[in-house]
Amino acid sequence: MISLSQKTIVVTGAGSGIGKAIALKSLELGALVIVCDINSDGLKDFENLSNAHTYQVNVENLEEVRGLFKHIEENSLKPNALVNNAGIYLAKSILEYTEEQIDRVMNVNIKGAVYCSQVFAEKKISEQDQGVILNISSVAGQEASSDAIYGMTKAALIGLTKSTATNFSPYIRVNAIAPGVVQTPMMHIIPEDRLTSYREHELVKEPITADSVANTATFLLSDQALNYTGAVFDINNGCYLR
């Protein structure tokens, strides 16, 4: 059985969807979880849970990310793992994007993961301590996406995963999960034709849920995954076989 006891895990974008499922599953398996989100309302469900510490942070702001890890250190918490889950999806054609929207999606989805990884890894490597980073990418980063900007950012996370697995070895394992269409609030803004295309290609018809992703995430965060790094785990019901 997977156990995350003795683990302290930072999860960004944990106020809803996949991030929330990963945080809850990690708590269930015995971890202490620093639950982070830009939306304070999304943190309320964790406020009365034992072993959950909530923190409001905008990951696209480096100073706020540094403030998060300073807060963690000041509270004598020593994170073993980081889940870069925070992300936004606008479901727009590239022809409809404004400059501000492009910057926003890139800042949250890419820079947020870079900033968190940078600050987390700096301390781990300086102390020669073992750790884990898990990046939440998407099938949109592996295949053509109707939202090219979103797809680009998720592809970038896969590149970030492979490069930092090299950069941070032998101290930090870095892996990614690339889910297909997951039953979260975000699913309802996917264009209907794209959603239909995904569904038609799925070999397994059981819907992918946030809990499905959380099950894989907690395995990768655990000591049972000690030999995995630089890997991308597809959770897409076999909709795209390469």
Known catalytic residues? 150
Q: What are phi and psi of 25, to 5 degrees?
A: -65, -40
- Report the greatest alpha carbon distance in the chain: 50
Question: Which token pair is 215?
Answer: 């099950």
Interatomic CA distance for residues 142 and 23, integer angstroms: 25
Interatomic CA distance for residues 158 and 142, integer angstroms: 9
Helix (H, G, I), strand (E, B) or coil at 180: coil
Question: Which token pair is 136?
Answer: 């939440």
The number of helix segments (H) and strand segments (E) in the chain equals: 8, 9
105, 121, 132, 194, 236 from 128: Cα distances, Å: 33, 10, 13, 45, 36
Interatomic CA distance for residues 217 and 222, integer angstroms: 9
